[in-house]
Amino acid sequence: MPLHEYIAEDPAKGCELCRRPFEHLDRQPDHFLKSCPRCGAPVRRLPSAPNITQGHTTLDRRAREAGFHKLKRVGKGTYEKEY
Ligand SMILES: [Zn+2]
């Protein structure tokens, strides 16, 4: 089931749920939420976020954020710190 992000068309009139982007699991791929499941305010779908949870770059970034360092081998027994 696709997970979509929604936000109230007019966040000022939304409830605490739809005033900010919220995720909703749509039961059918082509069925989009038109109103907030909690307060019924009109909502619009946010463009889906690019998939950044996969890929080498992300792993590198996460390793860096976690405080790991990556060493690049530049010669025999010699390593250069990439970050
Ligand atoms: Zn709402």
**How many angstroms is it from 50 CA to the middle of ligand 1?**
25
45: burial class by Cβ within 10 Å (0-12, 13-18, 19+)? middle
Asked if pLDDT for residue 10 goes beyond 80, the answer is yes
| pLDDT tens per residue across span 17-64 | 999 999 998 887 777 899 999 999 999 999 865 554 445 666 677 777
**How many angstroms is it from 35 CA to the middle of ligand 1?**
8
**How many angstroms is it from 14 CA to the middle of ligand 1?**
5
- Cα–Cα distance measured from residue 2 to residue 30, given in angstroms and rounded to the nearest whole number: 9
Query: pTM for the full model?
Result: 0.55
**How many angstroms is it from 64 CA to the middle of ligand 1?**
38
pLDDT computed for residue 41 by the predictor? 97
**How many angstroms is it from 22 CA to the middle of ligand 1?**
10
Where are the domains positioned within the chain? Answer: 1-48, 50-83
Asked if pLDDT for residue 71 goes beyond 80, the answer is no
